[in-house]
Structure 1
Amino acid sequence: MHLRAERTWSNNMSELIDFLIVALALVAIGIYGLVVKRNAIRMLFSIEIIANAANLVLVAFARGLPNAQGQTFALFSIAIAAAEVAVGLGLIIVAYRLYKEIDVAEFRSMRG
């Protein structure tokens, strides 16, 4: 007798739907952060939340595959996102040193 529960199609779909609901919530939080907040750091983190939602969807769909290509691609995506955050924060620090402000609306008015 096997103690491990059998994975049925309905269980897999239920788990996939749960992952997709969480990913949709993360995308909604990220879009809210982009639309409402004008702080450059918060906007950068909102973009990262959206990218992580995409990684979650990628891994959720790749769970049913026999190989680990989806997880590998998500790992590379996370590494690229880490580099993106480092560059983005560096640019924000330089902008703060120049303008003493990290509000995106103020950046637009300081052109010239």
Structure 2
Amino acid sequence: MPLHHYLIVAAALFCTGLAIAITKRHFIGILLGIELMLNAVNINLVAFSRHDPEKLSGQLFALFVIVVAAAEVTVALAIILRVYGRYNTVDPDEVNDLKK
């Protein structure tokens, strides 16, 4: 398959993730949008790595992105649980003050 097919799929996935991250009202939906955007970046990195088979740097960068995404989800879910425990909601619009 040519490189531009991968890039089109990754661009569509990134735009979908961006739209989800902007329009969702819950923290979980925002996290899902961010994860979709990170997966689009991974598709781009692996596609460019496959385009130049002598260098594996794209695949290594994709591995680092996966590790960072896993750490980001872990921290974000801990924050979400903490916010829910304090405010009894996961709606970011309702959590507008630092003290309660």
TM-score (norm 1): 0.81
User: Please, which runs of 5 or more residues in structure 2 have no aligned partner?
Assistant: none
Instruction: Give the drift of 1:24.
Output: 1.0
Q: Does structure 1 residue 102 correspond to structure 2 residue 90?
A: yes
Q: Name the larger-Rg structure.
A: 1
Cα distance in 1 for partners of 2:24, 2:51 equals: 38
How many Å separate the matches in 1 of 2:9 and 2:55? 24
For structure 1, the 5+ residue unaligned runs are: 1-13
Moved over 4 A (4+): none
Counterparts of 2:17 and 2:57, CA distance in 1: 26
RMSD: 1.3
Matched, 1:77 2:65: yes
Aligned residues: 98
- Secondary structure of 1:89's match? helix
Q: Given the alignment, which residue of 65, 89, 92 partners 2:77?
A: 89
Residue of structure 1 aligned with 2:38, choices 51, 70, 92: 51
